[in-house]
Amino acid sequence: MDLTVSESKKRGETELQHFSHHHPLLFIQHQSVTDKAALCFGCEELILELTPHLKHPFHPQHLLTLLPKSAYHCTWKCDFCQRSSSGFVYHCGPCNFNLHINCALLQSSIAPNFPTSLHQHPLFFSQDHNDEVNRDCSGCMKPLFGPIYYCSDCYPSDKCFFILHKQCAEVPLEINHPYDRRKHPLTLLPKRPTHLHNCSCYLCKIKWEGFVYSCSFCKIELPLDDFFSPQTITTANHEHSWTLLSRQRSFVCDFCGTTGDCSHYICAICDLLVHKNCISLPRNILITRHHHVISHSYSLQQQDELCRICYEEVDTRYGSYHCSASGCNYIAHVHCATNKAVWDGKSIPEDYDERSMEALDESINSITDVVEEMSFGEITVTVEIKHAYHDHNLRLTFSGEMNDDGQCDGCMRTVSTPFYSCEQCKFFLHKECAELPRNKRHPFHKHLLTLIKSNTKFYPLCSACGRLHHGFSYKCNDGDCRQFFECDIRCILLSDTLEHPSHEHSLFIVHNFSANCNACRRKSDPWNMAYRCTKRCDFTLDLECATLPLTARYKHDRHPLTLTCSDDSDPSQYYCDLCEHERDPNDWFYYCAECDNTLHSGCAFGDLPFLKIGSNLDKSFFGKHPHPFTIVKTIWDCPPCKICGEVCNGQALQCKESECNFSVHWKCSFKPLRF
Stretch 398-410: mean pLDDT: 77
Please write the tens of the pLDDT for every residue from 598-613.
999 988 888 888 988 8
User: Is 90 exceeded by the pLDDT of residue 379?
Assistant: no
Sheet holding 428-430, edge to edge: 367-376, 379-387, 394-397, 419-421, 428-430
Q: Which of 133-147, 223-237, 495-509 has the highest mean pLDDT?
A: 495-509
Q: List Cβ neighbours of 353 (8 Å cut-off, separation of 6 or more).
A: none
Classify residue 449: in a domain, yes or no.
Answer: no
The residue among 65 and 353 whose pLDDT is bigger is 65
Q: Is the pLDDT of residue 445 over 90?
A: yes
Torsion of CA 460, 461, 463, 467, to 10 degrees: 140
Residue 411 included in any domain: no
The pLDDT, as a whole number, for residue 7 is 45
Q: Is the pLDDT of residue 57 over 90?
A: no
* 590 and 626 part of one domain: no
**pLDDT for residue 626 is more than 50:** yes
> What is the CB neighbour count within 10 angstroms for residue 161?
16
What's the pLDDT band for 515 if we cut at 50, 70, 90? confident
Q: Which of 57-71, 137-151, 283-297, 565-579 has the lowest mean pLDDT?
A: 57-71
Calpha distance 72→424 (Å, rounded)? 34
Q: How confident is the model at residue 377 (pLDDT cuts 50, 70, 90)?
A: confident
Q: Closest Cα partner for 210 from 164, 248, 275?
A: 164
Q: Which of 264, 114, 97 is nearest to 179 (CA)?
A: 264
3-state SS of the chain: helix, strand, coil percent to 5?
A: 10, 30, 60
Instruction: Looking at the structure, tell me whether residues 539 and 565 fall in a common domain.
Output: no
Query: Does pLDDT of 60 surpass 80?
Result: no
pLDDT in tens, 561-589: 999 998 888 888 899 998 888 999 889 99
- Indicate whether 501 and 539 sit together in one domain: yes
Terminal CA-to-CA distance of the chain, rounded, Å? 55
For residues 369-387, average pLDDT: 90
pLDDT of residue 231: 87
**Residue 534 lies inside a defined structural domain of this protein:** yes
Q: pLDDT at residue 324 above 70?
A: yes
Average pLDDT of the chain to the nearest whole number: 82
Strands 305-306 and 294-297, sheet pairing: unpaired
Q: Which of 28-42, 88-102, 278-292 has the lowest mean pLDDT?
A: 28-42
- pLDDT given for residue 501 in this prediction: 93
Domain end among 105, 121, 145:
105
Contact assessment for residue 453 and residue 471, using Cβ atoms and an 8 Å cutoff: yes
Q: Nearest Cα to 612, choosing from 433, 423, 373, 412?
A: 412
- Residue 363's pLDDT band (cuts 50, 70, 90): low
What integer pLDDT is reported at residue 15 of this predicted model?
66
State how far the Cα of 456 lies from the Cα of 477, in Å rounded to an integer: 20
List pLDDT tens digits, range 421-432: 998 988 999 999
The arithmetic mean of pLDDT across residues 223-245, rounded, is 87
Spatial separation of the C-alpha atoms in residues 321 and 423, rounded to whole Å: 52
| CA distance linking residue 207 with residue 609, whole number of Å | 38
Domain that holds residue 586: 551-605
Instruction: For the chain, state the CA radius of gyration.
Output: 29
Specify if 34 maps to a domain: no
Question: pLDDT band for position 62 (50/70/90)?
Answer: confident
According to the model, what pLDDT value does residue 42 have? 43
Q: Which of the four pLDDT bands, split at 50, 70 and 90, describes residue 31?
A: very low
Percentage of the chain beyond pLDDT 90 is 32
Comparison of pLDDT for 12 and 244, the residue scoring more: 244
pLDDT tens digit sequence for 246-298: 777 788 999 999 888 777 899 999 999 999 889 999 999 999 999 899 999 98
**CATH classification of the domain holding 653:** 3.30.60
Q: What is the number of residues in the chain?
A: 675
Task: Mean pLDDT check: name the lowest of 195-199, 306-310, 639-643.
Answer: 195-199
635 falls within a domain? yes
Q: Which residues fall within 8 angstroms of residue 485, CB to CB, at 6 or more apart?
A: 444, 445, 447, 449, 463, 475, 476
Q: Total domain count for the chain?
A: 4
Sheet holding 25-28, edge to edge: 15-16, 25-28, 37-40, 46-48
Q: 115 lies in a domain?
A: no
- Which pLDDT score, from 0 to 100, does residue 34 have? 40
Compute φ and ψ for 447, nearest 5 degrees.
Answer: -105, 165
- One DSSP character per residue, 26-64 reads EEE--TT-SS-EEEETTT--EEE---SEEEETTEEEEEE
Question: Quick one: 502 and 536 in the same domain?
Answer: yes
pLDDT, position 394: 95
pLDDT, residue 313, reads 93
276 backbone φψ class: left, alpha, beta (φ>0; ψ -120 to 50): alpha
Looking at the domain assignment, is residue 646 inside a domain? yes
As a whole-number percent, the residues of the chain with pLDDT over 70 amount to 83
The answer to whether the Cα torsion of 112, 114, 119, 120 is positive or negative is: positive
pLDDT at 359: 43
Same domain membership, residue 582 and residue 624: no
pLDDT given at position 376: 84
Least confident of 154-158, 610-614, 658-662: 154-158
523-564 pLDDT tens trace: 877 778 999 999 989 999 999 999 999 999 888 889 999 999
The pLDDT tens digits of the residues spanning 326-362 come to: 888 899 999 999 998 999 999 998 888 776 554 455 6
**Exposed/middle/buried for residue 164 (C-beta within 10 Å: 0-12, 13-18, 19+):** buried
Contact 601, 588 (CB under 8 A): yes
Model confidence at 159, pLDDT cuts 50, 70, 90, reads low
C-alpha span between 129 and 344 (Å, rounded): 23
Average pLDDT rounded to a whole number, residues 77-103: 78
Residue 79 has pLDDT above 80, yes or no: no
Asked if residue 635 and residue 590 are part of one domain, the reply reads: no
pLDDT (0 to 100) of residue 51: 81
| 558 and 540 share one domain | no
Domain boundary among the residues 105, 132, 148 is at 105
- The strand pairing partners of 561, in sequence order, are 552
Q: Are 638 and 595 in contact (CB under 8 A)?
A: no
pLDDT at 646: 83
- Side chain identity, residue 209: E
Look at residue 515 and tell me if it is in a domain. yes
State the pTM of this model.
0.77
User: Tens digit of pLDDT for each residue in 175-202?
Assistant: 887 766 678 888 999 888 887 777 767 7
Residue 13 pLDDT: 54
